[in-house]
Amino acid sequence: MYAVEMLGITKRFGNVLANDNVHFCLEQGEIHALLGENGAGKTTLMRILYGLYKADAGEIFIDGKKVEITSPKQAIQAGIGMVTQHFTLVPTLTVAENIILGYHDKQTVSKTEIEAKVKAASEKYGIHVEPGALVRQLSVGERQRVEILKALYRNARILIMDEPTAVLVPQEVEVLFESLLRLVKSGLSVIFISHKLHEVMAVCDRITVLRDGHVTGTVSKAATTQQSLANMMVGRETFGVSRQSKRKTGKVIYTVKNLCACNSQGLPALNDCCFELHAGEILGVAGVSGNGQAELTQVLTGLVKPTKGSVKLDGTDLTNAEPHDITDAGVGRTPEDRHEGSIGTLTVAENLALEDLDKFIRHGMLDQSLIIENARKYIEEYQIKASPTDQLRKLSGGNMQKVILARALSRKPKVVIASQPTRGLDVGATEYVRNRLLAERDRGAGVLLVSEDLDEIIALSDRIAVIYEGCIKGIMPAAEATAEKLGMMMAGAC
Amino acid sequence: MDTFIVGLIAATLRVATPLIFGTLGELFCERAGILNLGIEGTMFFGAFTGFAVAASTGSLWLGLLAAILSGILAGLLMSLFAVKLGVNQHVSGLGITLLLTALSLYSFRLIFGESSVNPSIEGFQQLSIFSSSPILGPIFSQYLLTYIAIALIPLVGWVIYRTNFGLQIRAVGENPEATDAAGLNVIRLRTLALAIGGGLMALGGAFLSIAQLGSFTFGIISGRGWVCIALIIFANWQPIKVLWGSLLFGGVSALQLRLQGLGLDMPYEVFLTLPYIVTIIALTLGGRNAQAPAAMLKPYRRE
Amino acid sequence: MLKQFKIERVPAPRWSVIVIPIVAVLVTFLVSSILVILAGANPFAAFFNFIVTPLSSQVSALEVLVKATPLILTGIAVTFAFTAGYFNIGAEGQLYAGAVLATWVGFTFTSLPSIIIIPLMIAAGILGGVLWSLIPAILKIRLKVDEVVTTLLMNSVMLYIVSWLLNGPWRNPLSGWPQSPEISAAAHFATLFPKSRLHIGFLIAIAVVAIAYIVIKRTPLGLKMRAAGASLTGARFAGIDTTRTMLTAALVSGGIAGLAGAVEIGGIHFHLIDAISNGLGYTGIIVATLGSLNPIGAGVAAMFIGLISTGSQTVSRVLGVPVYLGDVVQNTLLLVTLAMFLLQNYRIKRVRWILLS
């Protein structure tokens, strides 16, 4: 009898098939990895199991009994616990208070009593926490332990861990693995979502690989290798067949040296990141999400100041430059999040004018006709389906992205920083954006393409850099990139 | 000089009483993540309702009860806008203050007419404990409500820090997502906090109208609600520190009144601006005021 | 099968800009009818007196504009700040600060002719408002101290300063009342019509509406303000100096509120008393909200509130309903409008829900 059986699970978001007839079985007392690239459907499947999403089709059995799970509360009652990267803890409360929150049957809360209870649970499950400590004083690894104990305290027998190591330092990863191995010995069953091959091989008993919403296979650890898992995960035989083998690129125009920066939580996210960008090339930055891509583009676009390192464009130092200095120096940028990098309540024409306002001022006033005319020009050139006076937020994602692209490219930049430029776009818009980037390259601009879509990186790049834990692990010509090589580098296996 | 100090202490406690009620009320709201700028209007509404009911029924206790109910109602109104609808908390709070003030004035005129002489009632009497002592007598000659206010401070501290409800309130003010994930109802918790908070604020208003003054005047609150907003920052959102803040402010006010009474020529207003200026300095030194409930001013919607 | 209703977010349709205020007014009247009936009066008669009577004679129609004048200014002040995402709750204190400086100019430079002293008073009013908004604005952009609380507290501080002035150094030596000396006769604003209090301050207010509209909608600064107010990151990404934009908006907002103070002194009161405002600054927030942060909308809303507050006096006189009905109506209108602005983004949709056996 399986602890969890998910049969024929299908889930659709709009046009995207996130899970397509997925079968997944978790045995009692095993650690079972769900392996796959970003967007392969791992998290969707688990959110269905935890009652956060409702499947369009399919059945779920827990311990052989069919269940309907429509809310996290029901999942908890069915013995399922989930620990995500985004912790649901209250930082100003103590560990014990967090653990009993919403799971306490008395009107009063006695500190000694709840701390004793939590202490007992901590000892029973062998997960060390300090019941009286405030959560905000804990490290990320300690917080994760609190989350795990919180699930176990609610009598979870099935534990879902969504990329638990993404937020941990190596030493903490080891502690986590030891705890998990001990817990499964006492009967817990664990689902371990990951895209890091070596971790999966280190800790899991069986592995189910997902790709584009399908299961590509379930294998036991003993019967597989990192290479074959990488192939199942990425699923490509060869790359770059149709590309011209050798394009001539120009001189180095953009140099990033030893760049370090922190994320919004103040934790180091970029570690000595180095690369050079040539004129007339596309340098793709591949990597699994959360490895510093967001911080890299934030620093390069001037939204976040680096803690160390330098950024130079053609000899001009842009290390601590403000966004408008960066655009003035000749860098065009598309933001990682379209909605954050544009202003939805302003019109299309206003958004198009915003980056280079001085051009549109006559006698201290905005020249409306010039702004509209400018917008018309780009609307036509970029085939944007909108009128200049439409509010930007009313546009589809593709059209919004074209507006942003038009703005970024309007000043013929020497360097283009394109961050996730096609995320969430439909096929037509995606192709358009990609062709635009290729055209920029042919014009002679250096293009930095940061993307979590490996196909996109492979299709467009002249060279490919892999970012892993805030550091560029290696740069190779696209022609030399193979599935194994990229997959292993992205997973930090070498 | 002895009588001066004795009188000062007694007056300090009197001035502090409505501030303690109001600040404790605001504490519930803010701990749950709602900045309730409706406080000024809620206190005014409580002062009016308490007085009107006491005057028309002849029962001070009924007046007090009515004031509490009116405050709860004001809290529920705030909840409708700031919690259920998720309207900007500043604008909805100020709107409620303005509405309740106007409503009180309208109803007061409606009930008591346009007479130029303010109607008055025989308010609560001060208790006389230790009446034979020349020092303890005057100091402890206070209204029952003053004792209740002081007793409320440890009680509120106990509720906030030692009960399951208090734990949930603190959680919802810091991280509503986590509270929701723990299976608790965010809207219900915040509404409860606003209702309790409103009741306490109104009680503070009613203290002025049916105990201290025995009448309802249009300037009865005159910014005391805003003082509470300042005091809660000063008190760092901790019940026990509310006492020190209120006493400090009460002491300063009482002192300036006494000094004025002595005919000393001095700008007493300078004293009265102190709590505001101290609060602004405290906010500034506190930097990003890390002590404030983290989710304050953020409406919660489950996506 | 079970039919259920679901609420979903949709962008507001264009016509809602017109329809929402009208529906809001109707709902408000419906709600406040209860109070009118409680007062033993006929609601229809009351609302007739509210809306129609003040407009039926020239004198009272002009009085509406007199009442509207400071509200237009405080409404624009708030609009300006809110547009840039700076929540200035301190228009009340800034208004007093402007009134204080303008009054001082008005009674100090008594030998100056109108043509000099009036512009001087106006400049002093603006300066007062700017100075009083400087501290919260700098605390906000430099140290990220919440401007809502600081501007609110600064209001109370200003009230005490005014009270100190009126009871101390400025106490009128002749009357002994807590009121400042009169400003010189030359400093009185000219009136526009005989037998009416309507003064040139109204024209100034209208000019401010026009300028604010042009600045917000037609200048680079306005575009930057709107961008910063809508999305701070988006504006920063586009290279806008958001701190400078916000600081400018905060100070201009304070300046306009200070101007309102000067206008009330020069046009209506001629000396400083502590009741010159009585909440004009707070009502400015209502005006700005009702006008949905559009300067022209704010102008219209201010006149509507001027109408209600003139009308409430008529209602009170004719029907014996307490004059505070006007305040109740205008504040109910604020809350109803707030709710409707929000609800316009939702549409109730019927969905079918299949029950699984």
B269 contacts C328? CB cut-off 8 A: no
Q: Is residue B56 part of a domain?
A: yes
Per the CB < 8 A criterion, the answer to whether B283 and B233 are in contact is yes
**Across B2-26, average pLDDT:** 90
Residue count of chain C: 357
Q: What pLDDT does residue C352 have?
A: 38
Q: Is residue B239 part of a domain?
A: yes
Give the integer Cα–Cα distance in Å for B152 and B146: 10
Give the integer Cα–Cα distance in Å for B105 and B48: 8
State which residue of chain A sits closest to B182, comparing Cα positions.
A102
Residues of A in contact with C243 (CB under 8 A): none
What are A218's strand-pairing partners? A208
Average pLDDT, chain B: 88
| From A323, A344, A366, residue closest to C236, measured CB to CB | A323
Mutating which of C82, C83, C221, C237 best tests the A interface, going by the most A Cβ atoms within 10 A?
A: C237
Angle, in degrees to the nearest 10, between helices B268-285 and C114-143: 40
Give the integer Cα–Cα distance in Å for A367 and C265: 39
Angle, in degrees to the nearest 10, between helices C242-264 and C91-108: 50
Q: What pLDDT does residue A173 have?
A: 83
Residues of C in contact with B114 (CB under 8 A): 322
State which residue of chain C sits closest to B219, comparing Cα positions.
C278
pLDDT tens, residue by residue, A126-185? 889 999 999 988 887 889 999 999 999 999 999 999 888 876 766 778 889 999 999 999
Task: Say whether pLDDT at B288 is over 50.
Answer: no
Interface list for B 158-177 with A (CB within 8 A): 162-168, 170-171, 174-175, 177
Residues of B in contact with A101 (CB under 8 A): 167-168, 171, 178-179, 182, 184
Q: How far is CA A494 from the centre of its chain?
A: 21
Question: Edge-to-edge strand order for the sheet containing A331-334?
Answer: A331-334, A415-419, A446-450, A282-286, A463-468, A471-477
Q: What pLDDT does residue C290 have?
A: 86
Q: Is residue B137 part of a domain?
A: no
Query: Does the pTM exceed 0.95?
Result: no
Please report, for residues A303, A358, A441, B140, the alpha-carbon distance to residue A355 in angstroms, rounded to integers and kept in the order given.
Answer: 14, 9, 22, 69
Among the ranges given (A362-371, B201-210, C14-23, C246-255), the one the predictor scored with the smallest mean pLDDT:
C14-23
Residue A301 touches chain C, beta carbons under 8 Å = yes
Residues of C in contact with B91 (CB under 8 A): 285, 289, 334, 338
Give the integer Cα–Cα distance in Å for A210 and A37: 8
A92 contacts B174? CB cut-off 8 A: yes
Per the CB < 8 A criterion, the answer to whether A34 and A22 are in contact is no
Residues of A in contact with C222 (CB under 8 A): 366
| From A326, A345, A360, residue closest to C230, measured CB to CB | A345
Q: Which residue has the tokens 């200048």?
A: C219
3-state secondary structure chain A: CEEEEEEEEEEEECCEEEEEEEEEEEECCCEEEEECCCCCCHHHHHHHHCCCCCCCEEEEEECCEEECCCCHHHHHHCCEEEECCCCCCCCCCEHHHHHHCCCCCCCECCHHHHHHHHHHHHHHHCCCCCCCCEHHHCCHHHHHHHHHHHHHHCCCCEEEEECHHHHCCHHHHHHHHHHHHHHHHCCCEEEEEECCHHHHHHHCCEEEEEECCEEEEEEEHHHCCHHHHHHHHHCCCCCCCCCCCCCCCCCEEEEEEEEEEECCCCCEEEEEEEEEEECCCEEEEECCCCCCHHHHHHHHCCCCCCCEEEEEECCEECCCCCHHHHHHHCEEEECCCCCCCCCCCCEHHHHHHHCCHHHHEECCEECHHHHHHHHHHHHHHCCCCCCCCCEHHHCCHHHHHHHHHHHHHCCCCCEEEEECCCCCCCHHHHHHHHHHHHHHHHHCCEEEEECCCHHHHHHHCCEEEEEECCEEEEEEEHHHCCHHHHHHHHCCCC
Residues of A in contact with C223 (CB under 8 A): 346, 350, 353-354, 357, 366
Q: Which tokens in the block code for residue B181?
A: 């994930």
State which residue of chain A sits closest to C10, comparing Cα positions.
A394
**Across B6-22, average pLDDT:** 91
pLDDT tens, residue by residue, C276-315? 888 899 999 989 988 889 999 999 999 999 999 899 888 8
B174 contacts A91? CB cut-off 8 A: yes
State how beta strands A361-362 and A365-366 pair.
Answer: antiparallel
Per the CB < 8 A criterion, the answer to whether A145 and A180 are in contact is no
CB-side neighbour CA atoms (13 Å) of B119: 16
Which chains form contacts with chain A, at 3 or more CB pairs under 8 Å? B, C
Per the CB < 8 A criterion, the answer to whether B33 and B166 are in contact is no
Reduced to 3 states, what is the DSSP secondary structure of residue B182?
coil
Residues of B in contact with A72 (CB under 8 A): 181, 183
Per the CB < 8 A criterion, the answer to whether A239 and A461 are in contact is no
Q: Is residue B158 part of a domain?
A: yes
Number of Cβ pairs < 8 A linking chain A and chain B: 62
Residues of C in contact with A301 (CB under 8 A): 237
| From B94, B102, B279, residue closest to C153, measured CB to CB | B279
B294 contacts A92? CB cut-off 8 A: yes
Q: Which residues of A315-345 are buried (b: 16+ CB within 10 A; e: fewer)?
A: eeebeebbbbebbbbbbbbbbbebeebbbbe
Q: What angle do CA C312, C316, C321 make, to 5 degrees?
A: 105
**Across A12-31, average pLDDT:** 88
Q: What pLDDT does residue A488 have?
A: 78
Q: What angle do CA C21, C27, C30 make, to 5 degrees?
A: 145
- Residue A259: pLDDT band with limits 50, 70, 90: very high
Q: Which residue has the tokens 């109370």?
A: C156
CA distance C139 to chain B (A): 7
Residue count of chain A: 494
CA distance A99 to chain B (A): 9
- The CB density around residue C84, as the number of other CB atoms within 10 Å, is 29
Task: Say whether pLDDT at B30 is over 90.
Answer: yes
State how beta strands A252-262 and A268-278 pair.
Answer: antiparallel
State how beta strands A415-419 and A331-334 pair.
Answer: parallel
Residues of A in contact with C236 (CB under 8 A): 303, 323
Residues of B in contact with A89 (CB under 8 A): 175, 178
pLDDT tens, residue by residue, C17-32? 677 778 888 899 898 8
Q: Which tokens in the block code for residue C205?
A: 């207010």
Q: How far is CA C31 from the centre of its chain?
A: 23
A361 contacts C220? CB cut-off 8 A: yes
State how beta strands A80-83 and A158-162 pair.
Answer: parallel
Sketch out chain A's domains with CATH numbers: 2-234 (3.40.50.300), 252-330+411-490 (3.40.50.300)
- Residue B297: pLDDT band with limits 50, 70, 90: confident
Residue A332 touches chain C, beta carbons under 8 Å = no
| From C220, C224, C239, residue closest to A327, measured CB to CB | C239
Residues of B in contact with A107 (CB under 8 A): 163-165
Across A82-86, B200-204, B221-225, C162-166, which has the greatest mean pLDDT?
A: B200-204
Residues of A in contact with B175 (CB under 8 A): 88-91
pLDDT tens, residue by residue, B64-115? 999 999 999 999 999 999 999 888 898 899 999 999 999 999 999 999 987 7
A76 contacts B167? CB cut-off 8 A: no
Per the CB < 8 A criterion, the answer to whether A313 and A413 are in contact is no
* Runs of H (alpha helix) within chain B: 2-31, 39-57, 60-78, 89-112, 136-140, 144-162, 164-174, 176-181, 186-207, 224-234, 239-261, 268-285
Q: Which residue has the tokens 């005021």?
A: B289
Q: Which residues contact C215 (CB under 8 A, 6 or more apart)?
A: C221, C222
Give the integer Cα–Cα distance in Å for A150 and A102: 11
Give the integer Cα–Cα distance in Å for C41 and C32: 12
Q: Which residue has the tokens 């007093």?
A: C96
Please report, for residues A142, A219, C91, the alpha-carbon distance to residue A184 in angstroms, rounded to integers and kept in the order given.
Answer: 20, 19, 64
Q: What pLDDT does residue A237 have?
A: 43
Give the integer Cα–Cα distance in Å for B138 and B53: 30
Angle, in degrees to the nearest 10, between helices B39-57 and B89-112: 20
Fold classification of C2-353 (topology level): ABC transporter involved in vitamin B12 uptake, BtuC (1.10.3470)
pLDDT tens, residue by residue, C250-260? 999 999 999 99
Task: Say whether pLDDT at C139 is over 90.
Answer: yes
Q: What pLDDT does residue C116 have?
A: 95
Per the CB < 8 A criterion, the answer to whether C102 and C128 are in contact is yes
Residue B184 touches chain A, beta carbons under 8 Å = yes
Q: Is residue B160 part of a domain?
A: yes
| From B88, B226, B270, residue closest to C153, measured CB to CB | B226
Residues of B in contact with A90 (CB under 8 A): 170-171, 174-175, 178-179
pLDDT tens, residue by residue, A215-246? 999 999 999 888 888 888 876 543 333 455 45
| From A76, A90, A104, residue closest to B178, measured CB to CB | A90
| From A327, A333, A366, residue closest to C218, measured CB to CB | A366
Residues of C in contact with B83 (CB under 8 A): none
CA distance C218 to chain A (A): 5
Residues of C in contact with B110 (CB under 8 A): 38-39, 322
CA distance C293 to chain A (A): 13
Please report, for residues A137, B118, B155, B182, B238, the alpha-carbon distance to residue A110 in angstroms, rounded to integers and kept in the order given.
Answer: 22, 51, 15, 19, 19
B283 contacts C146? CB cut-off 8 A: yes
A101 contacts B168? CB cut-off 8 A: yes
Task: Count structural domains, chain B.
Answer: 1
Mutating which of B175, B186, B192, B289 best tests the A interface, going by the most A Cβ atoms within 10 A?
A: B175
Residue A305 touches chain C, beta carbons under 8 Å = no
Q: Which residues of B269-288 are buried (b: 16+ CB within 10 A; e: fewer)?
A: bebbbbbbebbbebbbeeee
Number of Cβ pairs < 8 A linking chain A and chain C: 82
pLDDT tens, residue by residue, C305-353? 999 989 988 888 888 889 899 899 989 998 998 888 777 655 444 433 3
Q: What pLDDT does residue A165 have?
A: 81
B164 contacts A91? CB cut-off 8 A: no
Residues of the domain holding B208: 2-113+146-285
State which residue of chain B sits closest to A102, comparing Cα positions.
B182
- Residue C354: pLDDT band with limits 50, 70, 90: very low
Q: Which tokens in the block code for residue C224?
A: 């930057």
CB-side neighbour CA atoms (13 Å) of A112: 0
Give the integer Cα–Cα distance in Å for B300 and B303: 9
Mutating which of B81, B90, B253 best tests the C interface, going by the most C Cβ atoms within 10 A?
A: B90
- Domain CATH code at residue B93: 1.10.3470
Q: Where are the domains of chain C?
A: 2-353
Residue C348, H or E segment: strand C346-353
**Across B1-16, average pLDDT:** 83
